[in-house]
Amino acid sequence: MKALGLADSSTQNSDSGDDALLARLISAEARGEPYNGQIAVGAVVLNRVDSPIFPNTLSGVIYQSGAVTCIVDGQFNEPIAESAYRAARDAMNGFDPCGGALYYFNPQTATSKWIWSRPLIVVIGKHRFYA
């Protein structure tokens, strides 16, 4: 099942492996966002893995210094929202509602202004997704 990108019921919400790591990131960064926004955050991480300008592993992208605020502010260690597991699976199965974006941010909480120079792809919930 895992080789097909599907989780069986016995491992659906296990807290190990890439699916759980991505779910933890999605939960920390997009908890409370619309479901498509949660998937989009996961898709950005996976788009970065596929991009030559970022590390080529999921953990490399997530733990890259300064890449995601939830690592710094401790949100990454909070309990994982149930919807984040589903969103991680959908993203890992190729669903990308952010259109290939490599960056996202919430303009209500972000402090860095460099992102405004990037081309906007889509807005989902409170997040903006950029090329």
29 contacts 41 by C-beta, under 8 angstroms: yes
Domain contains 87: yes
* Alpha-carbon distances, residue 94 vs 4, 100, 108, 110, 116 (angstroms): 12, 11, 29, 28, 27
Domain contains 1: no
Domain contains 115: no
pLDDT in tens, 14-66: 455 888 999 999 999 999 999 999 999 999 999 999 999 999 999 999 999 88
pLDDT over threshold 90, residue 73: no
Domain contains 45: yes
User: CA-CA distance, 90 to 113, in Å (whole number)?
Assistant: 30
Domain contains 112: no
**Which CATH number belongs to the domain containing residue 35 in this structure?**
1.10.10.2520
Domain contains 5: no
pLDDT over threshold 50, residue 3: no
Number of domains in the chain: 1
Residue 67: CB partners within 8 Å, gap ≥ 6?
61
Domain that holds residue 43: 16-98
Bigger pLDDT: 5 vs 60: 60
Supply the Cα-derived Rg of the chain in whole angstroms. 14
Domain contains 88: yes
Quote the pLDDT of residue 16: 57
What does pTM read for this prediction?
Answer: 0.84
Domain contains 131: no
User: CA-CA distance, 59 to 78, in Å (whole number)?
Assistant: 17
